[in-house]
């Protein structure tokens, strides 16, 4: 998806993919450590130095979520159309195929969209680091 590597965000997105993921990675520690109530509080009360970081964190994680949902949707469509050979992302293909598996067994577990997003984020992070 080369168009997502540009600095200009695609239609319907606040950030392009690469800036969204790099900003989200850079702000992962504040996202993990700062409680949700502080984010809500900063919407009403400007906290010097903190509010801009919280706003940037929120925007980057929302943008990243939107991009990842779009990628998952595209992968689902490719798998449904039998175009799995066109997919370069083996990890994503396996995750989406596992989510779409419908063998009807009692022990069948499906991945929720949040699990898919989490696993895709971790996989994307590993690919960026290596």
81 is in which domain, residue-wise?
A: 2-129
- Summarize the confidence of residues 38-51 as an average pLDDT: 90
| Per-residue confidence band for 46, with pLDDT thresholds at 50, 70 and 90 | very high
Residue 126: CB atoms within 10 Å: 10
Burial class (CB in 10 A: 0-12, 13-18, 19+), 78: middle
Which pair of structure tokens corresponds to residue 79?
A: 């798998």
Banded pLDDT at 6 (limits 50, 70, 90): low
For range 23-42, the mean pLDDT: 91
Lowest mean pLDDT among 11-15, 17-21, 50-54: 11-15
Phi-psi region of 108 (alpha: psi -120 to 50; beta: other; left: phi over 0): beta
- Given this model, what pLDDT does residue 7 score? 72
Q: What pLDDT digit, counting tens, does each position of 53-92 carry?
A: 999 999 999 998 888 888 777 777 777 777 666 556 666 6
| 98-111 average pLDDT score | 57
Q: How many domains does the chain have?
A: 1
């Amino acid at each position: 998806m080369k168009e997502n590597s540009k600095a200009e965000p695609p239609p319907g997105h606040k950030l392009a993919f690469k800036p969204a993921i790099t900003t989200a990675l850079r702000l992962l520690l504040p996202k993990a450590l700062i409680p949700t109530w502080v984010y809500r509080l900063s919407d009403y009360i400007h906290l010097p130095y903190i509010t801009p970081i919280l706003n940037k964190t929120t925007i980057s994680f929302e943008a990243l979520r939107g991009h990842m949902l779009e990628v998952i949707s595209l992968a689902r469509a490719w798998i449904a159309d039998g175009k799995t050979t066109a997919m370069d992302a083996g990890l994503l293909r396996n995750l989406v195929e596992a989510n779409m598996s419908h063998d009807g067994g009692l022990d069948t577990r499906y991945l929720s969209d949040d699990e898919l997003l989490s696993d895709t984020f971790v996989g994307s992070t590993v690919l960026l680091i290596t």
